[in-house]
Amino acid sequence: MFKINNLSAGIGGKTILKEISLDIKPGQVHAIMGPNGSGKSTMAGVISGNDNYEVTAGELLFDGKDIKDLDPEERACMGVFLAFQYPVSIAGVNNMVFLQASINSIRKYKGLPPLDAFDLIELIKSKMKLINMNPDLLQRGLNDGFSGGEKKRNEILQMLCLEPKLVILDETDSGLDIDAMKAVADGVNAIRDDQRSFIVVTHYQRLLDYIKPDVVHILKDGEIVMSGDYKLALKLEKEGYGWLS
Amino acid sequence: MAKLVQLADSNFLNDLDQHLSHPAWYAKVTKLADQYLNSSSVPGKKDEQWRYTNLKWINGTRWTNVTKVNSGKVDQLLQSVNIDQNTIDLLCVNGRFVNPKNHQDVCFEDLKDVMTLPQDHQMNFFDGVRYRWLHDALQLNFNLKRHCHVVFLATDPHQWHNVILNTKVSQAIADNMLNISVVYPQSTLNLEVDTQLDQTSELNYMVWTAPDSKLILRHRSQLGKEARLKVFLYNFEASWVHETCHVHVGEKASVDMSGLLLPCKSHFDDKEIDVVHDSPKGISRQQFYSVARDKGKAVFHGKAIVKATAPGTDARQLAHALMLSDQCQIFSRPELEIDIDDVQCQHGSSVGQIDKNALFYLQARGINLEDAKNMIIKGFLEEVIRKLPPMWQETMRNRVAIHGFSAK
């Protein structure tokens, strides 16, 4: 489904990711954990096509096709979704209008007709209920004046509406209270199936209590230094990263 | 005044062309504006208000006068600035007030849903309107039921608007008037505007220019106690604009000035704003957003002066600008001059390109680069468009879209 082969990438000439390889099968959840500055967000950015980062070697194979040279919008249309650690606020761009543009853009790519206003509202409202999101936020500017929890819920709402094949959650749990974290996890679990895969970037094991991973990787200094099952996350929670060196 | 009465009594409804030509007194007003411009010294680069202005064309300008407009021309003028005629209550074409739907002379019946007026004043109402808006105050006791949208179509290059709202006799003469001047396409307009708002009166004032026109506007305003003025400067289709606004804010009065500067090609748009607070507890807002493309040049110079006689003043300025090309230019200079401690004053200014993070965010949701850029620009402009009266917002969005900022 999604394979990373010997990926090296960096920013401003500095190498951050060093020959990383991952094989994520359909339906799997892979957790990426690691200390600050280890390259977790860089990896999320590189997969989603952020041109701040430069890929210097390797492949990103999505359904067998190397996507590393594609524009971010094409990757999104193919089914790659990044839930941002810091969702951008854009005042003046109505949240509903943005969702409509996004949904219909992806539908157009898939050769589907655009959703009309009634179907669109019905779809969005049904998804909002899943994550207990305030409907008033639809009429506001995109993430404009949203609290941290509201922004993260909005990310999950977009994920639910766009139904991507590969979801990357970049520290989606950061800054969330327990209820908000549970709502986010409920959203993710609502669309888990045997075809959809997840990369969950997190510092804390708590999110993984709600979204059970199949594989846990530890990223350190731009390299995957260890992989294991859920018990690895429990060990990190208990002992930190000191024992790895 | 005698001439005005004589004009109203004559029957000029039959011949439309004749009806739409200049009335005699209107010619006097335009001549005054012409004389005023000619008596002003030719601006130079050393004049602060003209410092960034391309002055080459001014000396060689021929002020062509389009003396006659027919009914078709009126439609064409309104279409050129994308104004829906159904939203207009009163249309003034070169000094004559006509019904916007049939271009016939207005009668009181046309306006019965807009205002109430004592029976004995109805005969003189339109004289009053002409007199009030174009000459001097006339004290009539009428009330507007809702916003009254008055559109001035100007084909004469020299215009002088004297808007006086007087509340000494009447109760709340104008609850909200939207006064719009439309400039003939590819023409040059020299517009002098004087507004005087007495106690508690309110005025919304806007000048719209047609594509490729040129505009020199000098706006002077005096606000009485608790008067409220909103000025909308949205002349972004013009090829060359120099607007100066000087506002005196009275006690507890408020002025809200906003505008969009969207120069493209080699267009130039300059706003010079002076707001003087010399009485207590006045409020002023200046909010100007610019988006420059190609070799376009936008200048915002906003100043709020708070005198020692104006405690409790609340003055704010905001100027944001986006640069979309390597060759465009933005000059932004918000200034505060404060002579007293007991005030709240803020100013802010930013100039930059479209935020790359915002672009990536939209692209990561499947929206292509061009549409993402347009969406961000439209959102940026929306912050100012929202300040317009609601019924004009959609029209303005359409104009912005026609001007080149449309997200699919």
Phi-psi region of A51 (alpha: psi -120 to 50; beta: other; left: phi over 0): alpha
Give me the mean pLDDT over the B253-258 stretch: 95
Q: What pLDDT score does A98 carry? A: 96
CB-CB under 8 Å, A49 with B363: yes
Note the pLDDT of residue B113.
Answer: 65
Q: Quick one: DSSP state of residue A242? A: G
Q: What is the pLDDT of residue B201?
A: 76
Looking at the predicted structure, is the pLDDT value of residue B136 above 60?
no
CA–centroid distance for A234 within its chain = 22
Residue A110 has a pLDDT of 95
Confidence (pLDDT) at B117: 56
| First CA to last CA distance, chain B | 54
Give the amino acid at A91. Answer: A
Task: Of B188-197, B228-237, B238-247, give the range with the top mean pLDDT.
Answer: B238-247
Please choose, from the candidates A91, A129, A227, the residue with its C-alpha nearest in 3D space to the C-alpha of residue B376: A91
ipTM summary value: 0.96
The DSSP result for B234-296, as a single string, is: --TT-SEEEEEEEEEE-TT-EEEEEEEE---TT-EEEEEEEEEE-STT-EEEEEEEEEE-TT-
CA distance B380 to A91: 7
- For chain A, 245 residues long, give each residue's pLDDT as a single digit of tens: 899 999 999 998 899 999 999 999 999 999 999 999 999 999 999 999 999 999 999 999 999 999 999 999 999 999 999 999 999 999 889 999 999 999 999 999 999 999 988 999 999 999 999 888 999 999 999 999 999 889 999 999 999 999 999 999 999 888 888 888 888 899 899 999 999 999 999 988 888 989 999 999 999 999 999 999 999 989 988 888 888 76
Is the Cβ–Cβ distance between B160 and B37 less than 8 Å?
Answer: no
Find the length of chain B. Answer: 408
Mean pLDDT confidence for B232-241: 86
B121 and B22 in a common domain: yes
- Beta bridge partners, B298, equal B269, B330
The tokens of A12 are what? 């401003």
What span, in angstroms and rounded, lies between the C-alpha atoms of B263 and A195? 50
Answer yes or no: do B291 and B333 share one domain: yes
Interface list for chain B against chain A, based on CB atoms closer than 8 Å:
355-358, 360-369, 371-372, 375-376, 378-383, 407
Minimum distance, in Å, between the CA of residue B242 and any CA atom of chain A? 28
Contact B369 A105 (CB under 8 A): no
Place B328 in a pLDDT band, splitting at 50, 70 and 90: very high
Quick one: average pLDDT of B154-180?
50
Residue A92: closest C-alpha in chain B:
B379
Q: pLDDT band for position B398 (50/70/90)?
A: confident
Domain interval for residue B364: 356-408
Question: How confident is the model at residue B169, as a pLDDT?
Answer: 28
B397 and B327 within one domain:
no
Of the candidates B357, B372, B379, which has its C-beta nearest A92's C-beta? Answer: B379
pLDDT band at B351 (very low <50, low <70, confident <90, very high): very high
What's the pLDDT tens digit per position in B194-211?
888 877 777 778 777 767
Question: Would the pLDDT of B402 be above 90?
Answer: no
| Type of residue numbered B287 | Q
Residues B381 and B305 in one domain: no
> Does residue B355 surpass a pLDDT of 50?
yes
Split into its structural domains, chain A has a count of: 1
Whether B56 shows a pLDDT value over 60: the answer reads: yes
**B49 vs B6: which has the higher pLDDT:** B49
Among B355, B356, B365, B381, pick the best mutation site for testing chain A contact (most A Cβ within 10 A). Answer: B365
Q: Residue A165: give the domain boundaries.
A: 2-244
Res. B13: pLDDT tops 60: no
Residues B322/B357, Cβ–Cβ less than 8 Å = no
* Element at B178 (helix H, strand E): strand B177-183
pLDDT value at B344 more than 70: yes
B91's CB contacts (< 8 A; 6+ apart) are B74, B85, B97, B98, B99, B100, B103, B150, B151, B153
CA distance B286 to chain A (A): 18
Backbone angles phi, psi at A244, to 5 degrees: -75, -25
Mean pLDDT of chain B: 75
The answer to whether A102 contacts B366, with C-beta atoms less than 8 Å apart, is: yes
User: Do B176 and B289 have their domain in common?
Assistant: yes
Distance between CA atoms of B128 and B91, rounded to whole angstroms? 15
d(CA B154, CA B251): 34
- Does residue B119 or residue B17 have the better pLDDT? B119
Q: C-alpha distances in angstroms, A184 versus A98, A99, A127, A154, B324?
A: 21, 18, 12, 10, 38
Pairs across A and B, CB distance < 8 A: 81
> Which of B367, B379, B381 lies closest to A102 in CB terms?
B367
Residue A25 has what DSSP assignment? -
Q: Is residue B92 domain-shared with residue B147, that is, in the same domain?
A: yes
Q: Is A34 helix (H, G, I), strand (E, B) or coil?
A: coil
Give the residue among A101, A97, A181 at the shortest CA–CA distance from A142.
A97
> Is B365 in contact with A90 (Cβ distance < 8 A)?
no
How many domains, chain B?
2
Paired tokens of B153: 């179509």
DSSP strand pairing (A54-62 vs A2-11): antiparallel
pLDDT at position B71, please? 55
Residue B367 scores a pLDDT above 80: yes
The 3-class SS string of B16-65 reads HHHHCCCCHHHHHHHHHHHHHHHHCCCCCCCCHHHCCCCCHHHHCCCCCC
Which range in A45-49, A228-232, B185-189, B264-268 is most confidently predicted, on average pLDDT?
A: A45-49
Please give the pLDDT value at position B31.
Answer: 78
| Arithmetic mean of pLDDT, B55-75 | 56
Pick among B258, B318, B354, B367 to test the A interface (most A CBs inside 10 A)? B367
- DSSP at B199: T
Pair B296, B324 in one domain? yes
> Which position has the higher pLDDT, B208 or B215?
B215
Q: How far is CA A113 from CA A107, A146, A206, in A?
A: 7, 31, 40
Rounded-to-integer distance, Cα A30 and Cα A20, Å: 14
For residues B218 and B271, what is the distance between their CA atoms, to the nearest angstrom? 10
Residue B262 and residue B306 in one domain: yes
Q: Are residues B241 and B361 in the same domain?
A: no
Question: Which CATH number fits the domain that encloses residue A12?
Answer: 3.40.50.300
Q: Are strands A14-24 and A2-11 parallel, antiparallel or unpaired?
A: antiparallel
Please check whether residues B266 and B404 belong to one and the same domain.
Answer: no
HSE-CB at A166 with a 13 A cutoff on CA atoms is 25
